[in-house]
Chains A and B, each alone.
Chain A
């Protein structure tokens, strides 16, 4: 018995000492970052999704695009393509590719050649060519490209030589280059595709990714973590981090705890901003990202197929109090889809006013003066545009009770939630949109165009021909003044028809330990750990 007790004591001492001896872990952790992410990616290929979580996890780390946005002034800058040339009529764009861009070498693939025009053709033909071997893999949906109608825009992609590619367009499109620079237009490996086709394991292309980006995938456990290792042959030079781990922590308090206990170096969407700002070892950052949170109505389902009911509900919602409560003043009330910073922003658009009387009046007009029951779908995770959709839904619930509407709040796990909305099962939904590029078209076409009804990114299922025509006309010209005019008209149609009610434009927040240096967030698209490094502890 005594020996047993002694053994227990020795074990306890050993375990107790465990937390103290950290010399060697320091060398490991000084070359690695643990990022507390808010959710699991749906796929490892941003071509086939639009969710911000997936873009954050994959785009900038695993892949490169032909062109990209300059992080400083949001102008389009070279990436895989070192330069490009556009003909005067805007219908032919030639890209000149960089040489010696290496693909990832992993356990499942060893490349024998560097990136060529074939890879560019493969990546885009997969999206555009319905007969392409990989087109139907993973469902065959390319929501971003479908919503910007790339298929009806690109006539042909031509390989001029190994390092030159030409895109021929049917018509001029002023947002074409911006669309190619988004996080979705990544370049995959054609050689890897061939290997998979040979083994008949096509779906692996989106599960076990191969790209040219600064990191390569080592391991992924759904709902648990993603482990990336450095891509040593990265064409822009090796990055400072050896390991990048995404610790998937959907709970807000869980991420905060991990941040406070140093288990994460960087945390997405932190709560308790004040606590983080007061903490000596933590920094809170914000970027003004172009986004909008909205209440979308399913315009195909009663009673929201009636414009008057939509208007009535929009009058009954007190946007100001919602924004004050949910965002604690870190967002502005949305007047329209566009933010003040956008060049197409129009101050003259009629704003919705909060008026219970007017709402009641409209309800009476629609014959629903006795009220009705409706569902609001709200996600249970935090997004950049909406830190707490469930509470927001409860506030709306209280607002609508005033005019006799009973609201049921419905929530699912994030991936299921998006899936069901895509199928149009909802009546109304609290969602949002974060811009992929600076062109205002991104808000309109992706959220409300007829083509986006089919691609699934239009949660309102609203399709208005006049509205669509305006969007199209605006894309056909490069005259900014004319485009602004078209978008103003489009905004006016939204304000009148109310397929969705814009609620707020918020900032995107992130918290990090002070020894993590380098830029991670930008105004558009996903996060990027390319330039991130850790400063030595002690040199602080």
Chain B
């Protein structure tokens, strides 16, 4: 396990190095002055510019510049946003939790619906139920998310006025920002309308979370199906059935647990996909998350925000990836001995 951990940390280190190199070079590739792009100080006075160029070492070699850029990032200084002139770290700390909340709920939804359906399909292999589930999965996977989002608003918000169409919560509720994860913040707050706020926030998250969950959900269906089929073919299952265990016992005690381990491995991979979908969905549902902010930054040509936002987001996805790897390794001893990371 130690070697496994070291290997992952090693991978993390080099990937981060590459990512920072990429984001560092972006400030030169974007139009305009590299120093202003990296710091976002578009309204700085000449004296301030001088100080800035000293702290970013623009007069020295590229390597020294890169090192000072790393120093800034490690000390939490991601520059300030060109459009709002607030520190990007503050904006990200404000917005990232909302995205995490939305994607976590979506991920849970996708797993809670996708995995059981996949198992059913595998158990009913080559029967009508299998075919139906697979067709649904195919359709779900092919629907573009922005179209699905608009359709969901049209049906469930406008035609049937069941669910709200935009935002995280009705703006009338004033919830103090503690963790940034709205549902937790509501429970922590001492608002007189706490439970109404909680219900309201829950109603707000349903539509966007469902829309995001569709594509990963269908992938989970197929993953669960193939992994279950694989497990059902193994000799220990055959041995169990030869020993006279009932079908239910085999499925619930042996097959599900063993096939779940294989699926967990893919959760990390799916997460990157999920975040991409969440970014688009955030725009459609005006969800105050990092995806919408990043897309707005592109519109506003806010290079500092684009650069730092990408870095933070990719870093975040990578950490999740590694975490799921650890969970997988903890559950599956075989993976720990795997020599290639």
Contact = CB atoms under 8 A, between A and B. Distances in A.
Interface of A: 1, 5, 8, 14-15, 17-19, 21-22, 24-25, 28-29, 32, 34, 218-219, 221-225, 227, 243, 245, 247, 249, 254, 257-258, 260-263, 412-413, 415-416
B84 A34 contact: no
A5 B163 CA distance: 24
B206 A15 contact: yes
Contacts of B296: 223, 413
B83 A416 contact: yes
A257 B157 contact: yes
B167 A263 contact: yes
Given A19-B203, A260-B158, A261-B161, A25 B196 contact: yes
Given A258-B166, A415-B83, 19 more contacts: A19-B162, A19-B199, A28-B173, A28-B193, A34-B170, A219-B174, A222-B86, A225-B171, A245-B171, A247-B167, A249-B166, A258-B165, A261-B157, A261-B165, A263-B170, A412-B300, A412-B301, A413-B83, A416-B83
Nearest to A33: B172
Nearest first, the 8 A-B pairs at minimum CB distance are A18-B199, A413-B300, A245-B171, A261-B157, A18-B203, A15-B202, A19-B203, A25-B196
Contacts of A21: 196, 199
A17 B167 CA distance: 19
Contact of A254 (B170, B173, B198, B286): B286
B252 interface: yes
Contacts of B301: 412, 416
For the residues of B in contact with A, the DSSP-based class is loop
Interface of B: 83-84, 86, 112, 116, 153, 157-158, 161-167, 170-174, 193, 196, 198-200, 202-203, 206, 252, 256, 286, 288, 296, 299-301
Given A18-B199, A257-B153, A412-B300, A247 B171 contact: yes
29 contacts: A1-B252, A1-B256, A18-B199, A18-B203, A22-B196, A25-B170, A25-B196, A28-B173, A29-B170, A219-B174, A221-B288, A223-B84, A227-B171, A243-B172, A245-B172, A247-B171, A257-B153, A257-B157, A260-B157, A261-B161, A261-B164, A261-B165, A262-B161, A263-B164, A263-B165, A263-B166, A412-B300, A413-B300, A416-B83
A8 B114 CA distance: 13
A315 to B, nearest CB: 35
A368 B200 CA distance: 62
A413 B171 CA distance: 24
Nearest to B257: A1
B202 A24 contact: no
Contacts of A245: 171-172
A413 B166 contact: no
B172 A18 contact: no
Contacts of A5: 116
A221 B94 CA distance: 10
Contacts of B167: 247, 263
Nearest to B109: A8
B196 A28 contact: yes
B87 to A, nearest CB: 13
Contacts of B174: 218-219, 227
Interface centre among A24, A243, A261, A262 (most CB of B within 10 A): A261
A391 B305 CA distance: 29
Contacts of B161: 261-262
Contacts of B158: 257, 260-261
Given A245-B172, A261-B165, A8 B112 contact: yes
A386 to B, nearest CB: 19
A25 B83 contact: no
B165 A24 contact: no
A54 to B, nearest CB: 15
A350 B254 CA distance: 90
B203 A32 contact: no
